[in-house]
Each structure stands twice: as structure tokens, then as C-alpha cells.
Chain A
Amino acid sequence: EDQVTQSPEALRLQEGESSSLNCSYTVSGLRGLFWYRQDPGKGPEFLFTLYSAGEEKEKERLKATLTKKESFLHITAPKPEDSATYLCAVANSGGYQKVTFGIGTKLQVIP
């Protein structure tokens, strides 16, 4: 069974204070690892897909990296508008389209 563990569960940063969120995964053949952002009362908003170890993707202040066992979401010089819950999810190569989510990291950026 696919498993996704995210840490920390909550993170409080000062504006401009860079940090990283961790996603550890167990999957029987990785088809893709996904990062989403979720604001309160909203659906997950797609950020990145990573397909193979060593791959990196960037978008504004966010950078996602992937190894064979984990992924990191690096946040550089965050702003208050980056406050949200960040979700990691995996799809395995055996299934069709099922995606397994982690519990998320709730990020708060303080001005």
C-alpha cells in the first residue's frame, strides 16, 4: 500500500526566513510525485509534478526536489501570501490514476 508521510505537520516562519518541507514516500513503482497547495475551504491547487530521482522544478519562491525515498519543497524568502497547507501526493505505476495524499504541512508566514 502506498504511503506518504509529511513533516513537520506545522511550520511557522518569519517573512524572508527560508525553510524546507519534507515528504517521505513508499510506493510500488513511482509514476509521479505531486505537490499541491491548499488554502482553507478550497481544493488542492496543483504546483509541481516530479517523475524521477534527481528531478527539480521551480516556481517563484518554491523549488521541489525528488530522491528515491523523499521529496523536499524548499521555500525561499517566503511572504505572508505563501501561508497555506502544502500537500504531497504519489501515484504508483501499477494503478490507473489513484493518487495517495499525505496529511500536509500547514505553513504560516508572519510579516
Chain B
Amino acid sequence: EPEVTQTPSHQVTQMGQEVILRCVPISNHLYFYWYRQILGQKVEFLVSFYNNEISEKSEIFDDQFSVERPDGSNFTLKIRSTKLEDSAMYFCASSGGNNQPQHFGDGTRLSIL
């Protein structure tokens, strides 16, 4: 069964450093998303991406964050200058259509020191 893959599974970074989280969505999907889950809290929406542009973003997704689809298979989330509070599990998801369910990867655990 096709799946969403994310790398790395764990990223440890010094505060203030830039980090790029990578995702390979399901191959025929058109909509891509990033979510985060702080330990013990809800899964929170960050951003959705369709047709090579951001279609919706949350208040969390400020100027520190950016997304990119650099080629036909990868989807990345960049955090420019990390803060301690960015420590969380980051999930990538994709869906085949606007009304189709979102399928999630197993996440990248980001630890900011």
C-alpha cells in the first residue's frame, strides 16, 4: 500500500539553526500538508499546499516557516531560525483530492537544544 515517507525520523538542532524536514507524499496525490504535535498535545495544522502554492496556513506558520516542492516527489518544511518551542513531532500528509482523507507519514521528531 502506498505510504507517505518522512526523513529524518529524528533531528537534533541547536537553537537558532535552520532545519529542513523532508517528505515524499503518495505519488498520485495533489494536496500536501504539514502538521505538528507537541508532546501530549493535539495534532495541529500548519499549512496546506496545492498547485505549487500555499492554499491555507495557520497562525503557527509564521515567517520562520516555509514550504517547497523542489521536484516532482519531495515536499519540504523549512524552519529558518529554530526556537526551543519548535520542539515537536512534525507530520507530513497528502491527499488525492480536496474531499479525500489525508494520509500521514510517521513523522520527524525535532528536538531543539
**Contact residues of B: prevailing secondary structure:** strand
Cβ–Cβ contact A43 & B99, under 8 A: no
- Pairwise interchain contact B107-A43, C-beta atoms closer than 8 A: yes
Q: Mark A57-101, 1 if CB is under 8 A from B, else 0.
A: 000000000000000000000000000000101000001111111
Chain A: CB-nearest residue to B47: A98
Interface size for chain A: under 10, 10 to 19, 20 to 34, or 35 or more residues?
20 to 34
Given contacts A43-B105, A46-B103, contact A101 B91 (CB under 8 A): no
Interface footprint category on B: 20 to 34
- Chain B 26-59 per-residue mask, 1 if CB under 8 angstroms from chain A, else 0: 0000010100000001111100101000011010
Q: A34 with B107: in contact, given A95-B56, A97-B55, A102-B42 (CB under 8 Å)? A: no
Binding site for B on A (CB under 8 A): 31-32, 34, 36, 41-46, 49, 87, 89, 95-104
Q: Can you sample 13 A-B contacts with CB below 8 Å? A: A36-B104, A43-B91, A43-B106, A44-B91, A49-B101, A96-B98, A97-B33, A97-B56, A97-B95, A98-B45, A98-B48, A98-B58, A103-B41
